[in-house]
Amino acid sequence: MKALRVKTSREQEFIDITPQVERAVRELGIPEGACLLYVPHTTAGITINENADPAVKEDLLDALVRLVPESLSYKHLEGNAHAHIRSSLLGHSVLVPVEDGKLKLGTWQGVLFGEFDGPRERTVWVIPLPRAPVPD
């Protein structure tokens, strides 16, 4: 397993972490199989979506902000209930196939880290899942 460090610079943002994940997969030496990307935080998340047009990241964030406004009344006393809910809506893990030592993503796909209560130094665990040998 490898722990990626992701430094966020805004209260909320999506960051394309595909290059870091690709490097980690190379270093872990996963030839075939998959890698599980897991975010061990309660106010951040991870997803896969388009990384060609940066406007897609902005639209994703904008939609989450509209779905879960900060101004609603919440019971959580820390004052960041909106960030917890946005994090749960996005999810905390993605599973990406690996072939020939490389991430097998679609042409326009990238791995996007979602920050909802930053800026902070965050962690993404890259967990190798090599393909099990096929029994004879």
Where on the chain is the footprint of Zn ion (CB under 5 A)? 78, 80
Q: What is the DSSP letter of 42?
A: S
Q: Which is nearer to Zn ion, 12 or 80 (CB)?
A: 80
Counting runs of H as helices and runs of E as strands, what totals does the chain give?
3, 8
Task: For the sheet with 13-16, list strands across it.
Answer: 13-16, 109-115, 44-50
Nearest approach, Cβ of residue 83 and Zn ion (Å): 7
* Nearer residue to Zn ion within complex by CB, 5 or 75: 75
Q: Minimum Å distance from CB 38 to Zn ion?
A: 20
| CB-neighbour burial class of residue 128 (10 A; exposed 0-12, middle 13-18, buried 19+) | middle
Residue closer to Zn ion by CB (options 27, 78) is 78
Looking at beta carbons, which residue is closest to Zn ion? Answer: 78
C-beta of 81: minimal distance to Zn ion in Å?
7
